[in-house]
């Protein structure tokens, strides 16, 4: 079975290749997505390292003049996808793009590739370094609201965890703009509507897009005056980890000019981390910036504190308690939402399913913090899910059945780079513990 799945994973990546960049899956997601490409590069590197670097180079093609790397690069106007470039109407990049970003995992994935082949990797990383540095500058400058101690988000889509129950607070305070006009969703034509965001959620997503478009995608206005503003533990922890990894890249590349700035970002983020600690729930949670209220559940972003290397001893212990409690409620772990929290749905997008890339990040952090048994369990879970159901976008944590998109690129990539039994030998090249390169 292993060799068959290895071959199938390679075939999926080849079939989803669109000439130097890889789409997540046909029809449902027919463009280049930001964090998808970063994870996809890990899998491509097991097949063709030059092609892996090409994936990242083409992602940077869409960088805007102010430094943002957008969530989606529209290299055409595909009728299978909504909302496309005609809805976003951005002009800051040489390509049509969205007006928002996505979780900044790029620096961390670049460092992983460098560790696997430093001789080649450093040369490639040098070519990408300034673009990634400018993207981090954009995040710290454009997504830190006035008076808030952490980087925030202006749209659920920017978090990558689109319809997580985390965003209910921010969305509930919004009014749907009556001028968004009639539109035809495409996602529910290509996937089971019961597994996708609701119509009300979609109306509010498009209300935020309309606000950005009406303000010419001025990012400061979108952040400080837009209809949605929440602090996301996912973006906070991922960016903090990416800043640490960018600092290591700066040192390896002798880019000492960038070191003081990056160190300041790291210090500021560490100092602000408690802003996300929900003492009632004893967990890191999303928080509505304007009301100060916390989300009411433990998500798959909550344990990324280990990945970022932050949290007090007590906070990390209580986070582990949640992970172990939830482990006892599911057949496979870790789900995107707490099964004992309101709005858990084991098959509805980010309301419960297991997401391969999130569990990879969680496991990486756990392994680095000495929780090797739990980390190994998450890796084995993904292996078993793929063996059971195939290469889906996400999986039901109770039954293991696949959800949403089929033949999914980041699932194929993480099989090759992490979950497959053969991945251990590849990971060992870097000198890291088997299966858990940082």
Residues recognised as catalytic: 162, 393
Per the CB < 8 A criterion, the answer to whether 39 and 357 are in contact is yes
Closest CA to 318 of 332, 329, 306, 336: 306
Can you name the residues that pair with 33 across neighbouring β-strands?
Answer: 72
Per the CB < 8 A criterion, the answer to whether 73 and 102 are in contact is no
Given phi > 0 = left and psi -120 to 50 = alpha, else beta, which region is 21?
beta
- The count of C-alpha atoms lying within 13 angstroms of the C-alpha of 253, restricted to the half-sphere facing its C-beta, is 25
Q: Which long-range contacts (CB under 8 A, 24 or more apart) does 257-262 make?
A: 258/133, 261/137, 262/133, 262/136
C-alpha to C-alpha distance for 150 and 230, rounded to whole angstroms = 10
Q: Which secondary-structure segment (H or E) carries 406?
A: none
> Given 3-state DSSP classes, what are the helix, strand and coil percentages for the chain, each rounded to the nearest 5?
55, 5, 40
Give the strand pairing for 230-231 and 277-278. Answer: unpaired
Cβ contacts of 322 within 8 Å, gap of 6 or more: 282, 283, 298, 302, 303, 338
C-alpha to C-alpha distance for 120 and 65, rounded to whole angstroms = 29
Looking at 215-256, list the stretches that DSSP marks H as alpha helix, in order from N- to C-terminal side.
Answer: 219-225, 233-252
């Amino acid at each position: 079975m292993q060799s068959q799945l290895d071959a199938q994973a390679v075939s999926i990546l080849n079939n989803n290749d669109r000439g130097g960049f890889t789409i997540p899956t046909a029809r449902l997601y027919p463009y280049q997505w930001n964090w998808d490409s970063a994870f996809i590069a890990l899998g491509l590197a097991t097949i063709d390292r030059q092609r892996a670097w090409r994936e990242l180079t083409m992602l940077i093609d869409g960088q805007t003049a102010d430094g943002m790397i957008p969530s989606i690069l529209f290299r055409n106007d595909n009728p299978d996808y909504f909302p496309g470039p005609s809805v976003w109407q951005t002009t800051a990049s040489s390509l049509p793009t969205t007006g928002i970003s996505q979780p900044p995992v790029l620096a961390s994935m670049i460092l992983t590739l460098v560790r696997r082949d430093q001789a080649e990797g450093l040369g490639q990383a040098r070519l990408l370094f300034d673009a990634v540095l400018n993207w981090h500058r954009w995040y710290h400058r454009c997504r830190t609201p006035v008076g808030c101690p952490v980087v925030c988000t202006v749209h659920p889509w920017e978090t990558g965890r689109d319809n997580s129950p985390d965003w209910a607070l921010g969305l509930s305070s919004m009014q749907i703009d009556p001028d968004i006009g009639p539109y035809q969703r495409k996602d529910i034509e290509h996937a089971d509507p019961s597994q996708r965001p609701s119509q009300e959620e979609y109306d509010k997503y498009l209300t935020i897009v309309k606000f950005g478009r009406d303000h010419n995608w001025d990012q400061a206005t979108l952040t400080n005056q837009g209809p949605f503003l929440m602090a996301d533990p996912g973006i906070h922890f991922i960016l903090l980890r990416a800043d640490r990894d960018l600092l290591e890249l700066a040192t390896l590349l002798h880019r000492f000019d960038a070191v003081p700035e990056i160190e300041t970002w790291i210090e500021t983020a560490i100092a602000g981390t408690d802003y996300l600690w929900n003492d009632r729930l004893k967990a890191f949670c999303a928080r509505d910036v304007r009301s100060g209220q916390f989300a009411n559940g433990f998500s798959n972003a909550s344990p990324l504190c280990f990945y970022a290397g932050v949290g007090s001893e007590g906070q990390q212990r209580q986070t582990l308690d949640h992970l172990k409690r939830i482990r006892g409620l599911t057949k496979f772990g870790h789900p995107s939402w707490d099964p004992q929290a309101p709005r858990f749905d084991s098959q509805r997008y980010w309301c419960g399913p297991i997401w391969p890339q999130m569990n990879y990040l969680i496991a990486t952090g756990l392994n680095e913090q000495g929780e090797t048994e739990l980390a190994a369990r998450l890796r084995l879970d993904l292996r078993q899910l793929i063996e059971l159901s195939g290469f889906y976008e996400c999986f039901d944590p109770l039954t293991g059945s696949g959800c949403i998109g089929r033949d999914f690129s980041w699932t194929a990539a993480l099989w090759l780079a992490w979950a497959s039994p053969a991945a251990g030998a590849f990971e060992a090249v870097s000198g890291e513990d088997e299966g858990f390169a940082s």
